[in-house]
A and B are shown apart, each in its own frame.
Chain A
């Protein structure tokens, strides 16, 4: 397959991309054969059955962009590399894309569509609605969302900010849940 042989040459800013994301374009060249940009309908077609498919697709596009090109695509995918254990925060290098923090941030942004830094009750309700079957009544949804906010909301502003989000997931193995194995 020709795609597997695409090298750094074919990719603009290949070196920089490698540094930023840690993905080798050769390896991840197998992912794509992007001459032009991807449009969202291409991605959407793939994720039509995913309940949060449109949110996932939206995360690839910067606001105002209509297509995503290869570097952007890889930058997003870089979030899903398994976390390196021995990365230490030394303040000099920018945080790599696949650190736990960045992964959580990515997940947070799936909820927080209007980018105001908080997950409001309505946003949470919407995600819940998308993810639950039709047998769940509205009252039940409301109670679930209410409870979720109650648990996580520490500063009583009726919304979940990123720190609260992170805190509520501190016991969960994010690395396992948000890594795709082959992106190494």
Chain B
């Protein structure tokens, strides 16, 4: 019942939203109609005095002159910003509207919805006989609308998978787009030769130009589907990279062909020059991008006193890269993408947490605005412009677009498969080919074609047709098709619980092995780059190269976040209590009679498992959903849990005798390179520079392990001091250092931790209730007394490899976080 009312409320608010949206459009439309009236009256008032001077008789001059207008309307003054704002508001409201009906966004890609709304608005405008605002000129598009979109593409690109597949991605993008453009252009030119279609005035250059425009793919919808279906990472990154770079390639081709289209004739020399220009443009773009990226990174090294304007540097430098590249007519899109990729790594280490968040949010915001506006505009323009419909041209364009893309993928894959470790099979290729939807860039490029192209309207119509076709038909159908061709063989209800669990474990296992293999395949180059990076780049571009700046700062931030969350949420302490519970249960189980499970229980279990088991390959999806910020809650949970489990085992192990071998093994687990972004506060750290970092950390006595969330046994200081010796012994045994420095550090640690050694607030509502907390306390106290508390071996067995000796590890973060809190001016 409650759900029903909720649904009704939601439908109501959705309806209200829609109505409001439509209302807004009407006012926009009507405003223009009325605009002439107020200006007329105003001008009437001002014009009058002049005839006065000339001496003509005027009616009632005194009344007109002295009056102070109480209420006037001057629309023309604010017209442009006003309409711009209204458009954006309109688009944003429609986005809110979509997400209320969450199910819609699963089946219909967001681009569809935006175009749909644009069509509606266009329809309204058309019916009130209005012209759409003529804002989408070539300059506006290229200088204002395109940069945010490509900046977002570059900034949120997952660098590691990308660089591992960079050859493949570039191959598909560059050669693929070329293949498509030339293929489609030539075929269309062939079609134009037939007299019956009345297309003979379109020459080869114009055909090529048009073909290059419609080769730009925008696979956002495809990406969303692929994520949900769980397609493998390789396909994913190829499509993603393709979407990214095809913008660049298309813009280059477009400018080349536009230039050629204006020339009367082409000879072979021009073709050769064209090819050369292509390379110059591409490589030039990369160089410019690198230059500005490094400049931005270097600047960010010094901005720690002016934190408020840190994001500004990022945006200004990227935009500058774009503009300077435009100045030299080289690929500005490449420049800005490379700039974003380069600077992201260093900047995110240098700037403060808040700036980092701000940058990410603003980048996403600008890109969303831009793209939404373009799609909107597409919808409106579709209805309101003059169209030239030529069945033959348009149908053949559609046909050739499909054909050449399919062929292209097939041929390209055949050529590149031998060079790849993980090869693409036919299903993958189908996914790649079908996922090539056209999007915003295509429309914008065609709309900004100059009027020198005599069949411009035909081109506009044809592009719009293609875009609408691919976005709607392909976008909506791609999900069912992909799911169909990868059909599951077993119905999950028929699986036993065992099978479900075990198969998921195996999937994780396979994913892990896959990652390892993938990782080590490129180790050679990565190692070289890593060394170069560490020796030169980091020294120059990063403000503090100490250990503080990477793993430890990450842990610091994690701690801070945990501390904040502990106060806010009731996520509960997942560390100590579960193990205790299992301990208790262990004893009770023997006595408890076997529970019988009903069928409904089993069904519920299956539901729980399917909803809550962590999905594999979360890494790629974390970066690529275009309309939202990366979602990292799963990653965060996994990492937090790993922290907690390691800490738990620390405590358990610290009260036992350690065989000598375990000590050396124990320092192994320095993991937790966060792949995902932890709530956008932590920089992306996918580098394996953890290893030298870790050495440095070890030498400074800090163990890079953290998590403050567990209850810390702080009751008896003497017991902790007792434990110092094994701690020191272990630390010293692995590193020949002055014990004094370690001691001091540990000293500081322990006093620090004692000062802060309150327990986590009890209201962190455990799933197990407060009595567990007391038991935990008792447990710890008694353990603290050195009592040989017998913990069940099996429960702790998985963690007996972990560090027992360095129990200080969990609280070693305190002093650093204390320090960090001082330095943080947030």
Contacts and interface: CB of A to CB of B under 8 A. Distances in A.
Interface of A: 1-3, 30-33, 39-56, 58, 64, 66, 77, 80, 107, 110-111, 113-114, 116, 120-123, 125-138, 140, 142-144, 146-148, 150-152, 158, 165, 168-169, 171-174, 177-183
B422 A52 contact: no
A110 B523 contact: no
B508 A148 contact: no
B520 A56 contact: no
B673 A45 contact: yes
A81 B612 CA distance: 30
18 contacts: A31-B520, A41-B669, A42-B688, A47-B515, A56-B513, A66-B664, A80-B510, A122-B586, A126-B795, A127-B501, A131-B501, A132-B608, A134-B571, A134-B574, A144-B608, A148-B497, A151-B498, A158-B589
B772 to A, nearest CB: 10
A54 B614 contact: no
Contacts of A143: 595, 597, 601, 605
Given A120-B794, A148-B498, A1 B423 contact: no
A131 B605 contact: no
B422 A3 contact: no
A11 B674 CA distance: 33
A53 B614 contact: no
A41 B670 contact: yes
Contacts of B515: 46-47, 50
Q: Which of B489, B496, B595, B694 has the most chain A CB within a 10 Å cutoff?
A: B496
Given A53-B671, A54-B642, A181-B422, A47 B597 contact: no
Contacts of A2: 524
B503 A177 contact: yes
Contacts of B506: 107, 174, 177-178
Contacts of B688: 42, 45-46
A133 to B, nearest CB: 4
B512 A47 contact: yes
A117 to B, nearest CB: 12
A113 B571 contact: no
Contact of B668 (A47, A66, A146): A66
Contacts of A77: 513, 517
A18 B691 CA distance: 31
A2 to B, nearest CB: 6
A169 B671 contact: no
Nearest to A160: B498
Given A40-B668, A77-B513, A48 B586 contact: no
B508 A50 contact: yes
Interface string B748-774: 000000000000000000011000000
Nearest to B797: A114
A41 B690 contact: yes
B610 to A, nearest CB: 11
A46 to B, nearest CB: 5
A180 B525 CA distance: 23
Contact of B503 (A66, A120, A136, A172): A172
Given A177-B503, A180-B517, A131 B767 contact: no
Interface in B304-360: none
Q: Which of B501, B516, B618, B794 has the most chain A CB within a 10 Å cutoff?
A: B516
A125 B792 CA distance: 14
Nearest to B768: A138
A120 B581 CA distance: 15
Contacts, number: 229
Given A48-B674, A144-B608, A168-B502, 13 more contacts: A3-B521, A31-B520, A41-B694, A42-B688, A47-B671, A55-B798, A66-B664, A125-B582, A131-B504, A133-B613, A143-B601, A152-B496, A177-B506
B703 interface: no
Contacts of B608: 132, 136, 140, 144
Interface in B767-810: 767-768, 792-795, 797-798, 801
Contacts of A126: 795, 798
Interface string B84-95: 000000000000
Interface stretch (B33-41, B463-471, B632-640): B632-640
B527 to A, nearest CB: 8
B42 interface: no
A33 B527 CA distance: 10
Interface SS of chain A: helix
A132 B612 contact: yes
A77 to B, nearest CB: 7
A147 B421 contact: no
B510 A172 contact: no
B523 A49 contact: no
Contact of A133 (B496, B589, B612): B612
A29 to B, nearest CB: 10
A42 B616 CA distance: 21
Contact of B505 (A39, A127, A134, A180): A127
Q: In the A-B complex, list the 5 residue pairs whose CB atoms are closest, starting with the nearest.
A: A44-B671, A114-B797, A113-B798, A40-B668, A133-B612
B551 to A, nearest CB: 10
Contacts of A148: 496-498, 501
B364 interface: no
Contact of B619 (A44, A49, A171): A49
Q: Which of B423, B582, B637, B768 has the most chain A CB within a 10 Å cutoff?
A: B582
B578 interface: yes
Nearest to B515: A46
B429 to A, nearest CB: 15
A134 to B, nearest CB: 5
B792 A147 contact: no
Nearest to A43: B516
Nearest to A125: B582
Given A33-B524, A56-B513, A121-B589, A136 B668 contact: no
A90 to B, nearest CB: 28
A1 B669 CA distance: 31
Contacts of A169: 498-499, 502
B417 to A, nearest CB: 11
B614 A133 contact: yes
Nearest to B664: A66
B228 interface: no
A131 B613 contact: yes
A147 B614 contact: no
A33 B574 CA distance: 40
A3 B520 CA distance: 10
Nearest to B586: A122
Contacts of B794: 114, 116, 120, 122-123
Nearest to B641: A130
Given A136-B608, A151-B497, A178-B510, A54 B503 contact: no
A130 to B, nearest CB: 7
Interface in B554-593: 571, 574, 578, 581-582, 585-586, 589
Contacts of A121: 586, 589
Contacts of B639: 48-49
A42 B601 CA distance: 42
A48 B767 contact: no
A98 B686 CA distance: 31
